[in-house]
Amino acid sequence: MRSQGKRGLSYLGSSPKDYYTKFSGAMAGGKRHYSEADGLAPESHIEDPEDDLDTVEHERRFQQHFALPESERLLAVYYCSLHRVLPLYGKAYVGTRNFCFRSLLYGTRTKMVIPFKNILNLEKEKGFRWGYPGMVVVIRGHEELFFDFSSNGLRDDCVVTVLRTLEAVRALQESVILTPHEKKDADAAAAENQLLSGVRKDLHADRDADPSEILSRIESGTPMIFDDPNASILDFKPTKAMRITCLTIGSRGDIQPYIALCKGLLADGQQPRIATHREFQGWVEKHGIEFAPVEGDPAELMRVCVENGMFTPRFLYQATSQFREWFDGLLTSSYEACKGSELIIESPSAMAGIHIAEALSIPYFRAFTMPWTRTRAYPHAFAVPSHKQGGAYNYMSYAFFDNLFWQISASQINSWRRKHLGLKPTSLEKLQPNKVPFLYNFSPSVVVPPLDFSDWVRVTGYWFLDEGTTWTPPADLQAFIDKARADKQKLVYIGFGSVTVSDPRELTQHVVDAVLKADVRCILSKGWSDHFDKKDASVPEVPLPPSVFQIRSAPHDWLFKQIDAAVHHGGAGTTGASLRAGVPTIIKPFFGDQYFFATRVEDLGVGIHLRKITVNALGKALWIATHDDRMRGKARLLGEQIRNEDGVATAITAVYRDLDYARTLIKKPEVKIEGGGEVEDTEEAWTFVENDSDGDVARLGEPEVVWPASSSRAQGSWGGGGAYGKRTSLGSMVLRGGQRTG
């Protein structure tokens, strides 16, 4: 009562008049700037109820509220509401290094401190409440936070102030000058490191650790899970070469990362194989990698996705009616391709690997180019909303698609399990895909690993397949690039892959007009066409001006180094290539995960999500991408971070280290017993029955055991008279503080 009362009494002050002034001022809202350089026009100021206090006192209270050091200065405050479940009225504080929020309603004690180094961007959006403009704070590896304000002017002032402060903080981070608080932290860290080094030296003075002895102890114990792939001196590489099958389907961009991974595995002494569509056989074998065919036409599937949209009612109808035979062939051929493997690494889009690994009793990994693991930080790549919806929506989007995919395919998969794999039907709950070790082949600087990812989910970095090191550009292309540089003209790349559009002539005309409007030079890779048009898609429908040079193809790792900005469809591989080159990226998504990566480049401030291609929209985007110093600087910095990563090496190390954990997930095969019965896989399922009285609770110290009817003790065996008996273990007992029933 006393601590709660202090908060309420803080409003009372010395007289009822002071209390009324503070309370009415807080309800009226407003803002206050404490630094003239950070504020907007003087007339935009709204009177604050604490104007009688000087800046020093405001700063002291700010530091006291959030336990911040004296070096933290207060720049501005704003009255607003934080949206989690219900709007919570309070006060937002903008400091020199932190963005803070404190609730003001009586009975609430919410306080929030977000370092600016963890804020990626701010966006202005419509508020959740009608008539209240909103602000979205995009946080690194965390779900978005939503605030709404009483007026557009107040919201815009807050956004501008925070963005200015973000720029100042980033500029300070790039400098080598430490603030007094940072110098104090650095000195404390150095002293701690010196102390720990001395302790380690004393502990190991008389003996040297034998890595092989440590490894033997680890192998005999429980599996180890590492949160840092480089956190051990031990070598977890298998002692003999493993037969590893990478199972994937889709377009060229879905196959390319696995070629890079398998080249790394080959160099490390393993025996990799890629199982995918037959049309990629020559490309795979050119790199010395074994190939196994998988049925299916990726171009036809892409056509259905583009024409009908992802998971619209029309898409689901066509997929279930036209692709049933295709899916049966995919499952059967995938099983044949994986036979003889000792490890499967599968793209979840193939949908067969987890069942094949169960049938072969081998460890199983997943790898993908887009988020597929439940998290509150990002929405599912196939369910990106037009406006951010927050953590609850993000998490539920994964649950929805997990169940949608399973409901669509469960009947065929269970039939295939019985006929071809000799396995019983299963369910999503029994499969537990959330327990499977997962490798994400995108950069942790692009998609920051969320805080709610499990330890066996790794964001390794991009798996680049650099094919441009030995590529020689045509003479006319090189001459076009050299002339643009000599004329000091900005050079951009525009290409949307082999997508189908309703009016390819109109799209080509818009692209040409936008290039002329933005006054840039353009390297055009035209692959879009009408599905019903049988002409060569690379032939332009309109005459191209001298400022546009058309190419058929060029390695992205070479081409993107020559340009100032890239415009493309937002495929995972193409996005990674343009970001690695350090150039601003404009994405016009068409379907699937392209919307997710368009949102990411915009959140990171390194590109633009283009909703629609028009002359004005594309022309404006080209001008901003080639002239905005802030965007170009962010893109250059992100490119340096990506180039310093080695995604393939990190992924291989993660496979070696999580291999022991993956082996623990292998389900024991069913065994035959006398009498013709079978023993089901033993599953631990704890069930605690709530007690009705305090007396029962008191007896929980020595619980009685309720034996399931399927495991009657009187029969003295694993199986009863039924076809399927079940061995009872401690994990399947039902604990209850009552009498034994049986």
Is the domain of 501 the same as that of 445? no
* Distance in angstroms (rounded) separating the CA atoms of residues 637 and 630: 11
Angle at which helices 324-338 and 313-322 cross, to 10°: 60
Residue with tokens 């599937």: 301
| Residue range 420-447: mean pLDDT, rounded | 95
Is the domain of 632 the same as that of 700? no
Going by their DSSP bridges, the two strands 243-247 and 343-346 should be labelled as parallel
Q: Let me know if residue 467 belongs to a domain.
A: no
| Boundary (domain end) residue, out of 174, 197, 222 | 174
* Distance in angstroms (rounded) separating the CA atoms of residues 99 and 119: 9
* Distance in angstroms (rounded) separating the CA atoms of residues 459 and 629: 30
Is the domain of 570 the same as that of 685? no
**Could you give the 3-state DSSP secondary structure of residue 495?**
strand
Is the domain of 381 the same as that of 484? no
Q: Let me know if residue 662 belongs to a domain.
A: no
The rounded percent of the chain whose pLDDT value lies above 90 is 58
Q: Let me know if residue 395 belongs to a domain.
A: yes
Distance (Å) of CA 379 to CA 77, 143, 399: 31, 9, 11
Residue pair 408/320 in contact (Cβ under 8 Å)? The answer is yes
Q: Let me know if residue 202 belongs to a domain.
A: no
Residue with tokens 């049938």: 359
Distance (Å) of CA 287 to CA 228, 243, 343, 388, 471: 31, 17, 21, 42, 15
The domain that holds 97 is classified in CATH as 2.30.29.30
pLDDT at residue 712 above 60?
A: no
Residues in the chain: 742
Q: Which two structure tokens, joined as six digits, stand for 549?
A: 């040079």
pLDDT tens digits, 580-609: 999 999 999 988 899 999 999 999 999 999
Q: Which two structure tokens, joined as six digits, stand for 689?
A: 């029955």
Q: How confident is the model at residue 131 (pLDDT cuts 50, 70, 90)?
A: confident
User: In terms of residue numbers, what domain contains 342?
Assistant: 243-459
**Could you give the 3-state DSSP secondary structure of residue 320?**
helix
pLDDT at residue 724 above 70?
A: no
| Kind plus residue range of the DSSP H or E element containing 102 | strand 98-103
User: What pLDDT, on a 0 to 100 scale, did the predictor assign at position 541?
Assistant: 74
Q: Which two structure tokens, joined as six digits, stand for 491?
A: 């050079």
The domain that holds 500 is classified in CATH as 3.40.50.2000
pLDDT tens digits, 671-696: 544 444 454 544 444 444 444 444 44
Residue pair 305/591 in contact (Cβ under 8 Å)? The answer is yes
Is the domain of 423 the same as that of 504? no
* Distance in angstroms (rounded) separating the CA atoms of residues 60 and 531: 67
Provide the number of structural domains found in the chain: 4
Residue pair 412/355 in contact (Cβ under 8 Å)? The answer is no
Query: CA nearest 249: which of 338, 350, 329, 344?
Result: 350
Is the domain of 504 the same as that of 581? yes
Distance (Å) of CA 101 to CA 111, 147, 303, 450, 490: 6, 10, 48, 22, 43
Going by their DSSP bridges, the two strands 243-247 and 607-609 should be labelled as unpaired
Residue pair 79/26 in contact (Cβ under 8 Å)? The answer is yes
Query: CA nearest 643: which of 704, 587, 577?
Result: 577
User: What pLDDT, on a 0 to 100 scale, did the predictor assign at position 197?
Assistant: 72
Q: Let me know if residue 650 belongs to a domain.
A: no
Is the domain of 122 the same as that of 248? no
**Could you give the 3-state DSSP secondary structure of residue 487?**
coil
Is the domain of 340 the same as that of 449? yes
Is the domain of 567 the same as that of 678? no
Amino acid at 318: Q
Going by their DSSP bridges, the two strands 491-495 and 521-525 should be labelled as parallel
- Give me the DSSP letters along 577-617: HHHHTT--EEE---STTHHHHHHHHHHTTSEEE-SS--HHH
In this predicted structure, which of 205-214, 553-562, 581-590 has the lowest mean pLDDT?
Answer: 205-214
* Distance in angstroms (rounded) separating the CA atoms of residues 615 and 518: 10
| Boundary (domain end) residue, out of 602, 626, 644 | 644
| Boundary (domain end) residue, out of 606, 626, 644 | 644
Burial 335-367 (b: 16+ CB within 10 A, else e): bebbeebbbbbbbbbbbbbbbbbbbbebbbbbb
Distance (Å) of CA 221 to CA 239, 354, 664: 18, 26, 12
Q: How confident is the model at residue 195 (pLDDT cuts 50, 70, 90)?
A: confident
* Distance in angstroms (rounded) separating the CA atoms of residues 84 and 391: 9
In this predicted structure, which of 292-301, 331-340, 425-434 has the lowest mean pLDDT?
Answer: 292-301
- For the chain, the average pLDDT equals 81
Angle subtended at Cα 44 by Cα 38 and Cα 47, rounded to the nearest 5 degrees:
100
Angle at which helices 313-322 and 298-308 cross, to 10°: 150
Q: Which two structure tokens, joined as six digits, stand for 714?
A: 């009187």
Q: Let me know if residue 104 belongs to a domain.
A: yes
Query: CA nearest 369: which of 431, 443, 292, 301?
Result: 443
Q: How confident is the model at residue 536 (pLDDT cuts 50, 70, 90)?
A: low
Is the domain of 627 the same as that of 479? yes
Which long-range contacts link 35-44 to residues 24+ away (Cβ below 8 Å)? 35/73, 35/75, 35/76, 38/75, 38/76, 38/94, 38/161, 38/164, 38/165, 39/76, 39/161, 40/157, 40/160, 44/153, 44/157
Q: Let me know if residue 188 belongs to a domain.
A: no
Is the domain of 443 the same as that of 485? no
The rounded percent of the chain whose pLDDT value lies above 70 is 72
Going by their DSSP bridges, the two strands 31-33 and 74-83 should be labelled as antiparallel
Q: Let me know if residue 236 belongs to a domain.
A: no
Instruction: Report the sign of the C-alpha dihedral through residues 141, 143, 149, 155, in that order.
Output: positive
| Residue range 18-27: mean pLDDT, rounded | 52
User: What pLDDT, on a 0 to 100 scale, did the predictor assign at position 504?
Assistant: 85
- Maximum CA extent, the chain: 93
Residues with Cβ within 8 Å of residue 570, at least 6 apart in sequence: 587, 588, 589, 593, 594, 595, 597, 598
pLDDT tens digits, 90-130: 999 999 999 999 999 888 999 999 999 999 999 998 888 88
pLDDT at residue 303 above 90?
A: no
pLDDT tens digits, 287-302: 999 999 999 776 666 6
Is the domain of 453 the same as that of 479? no
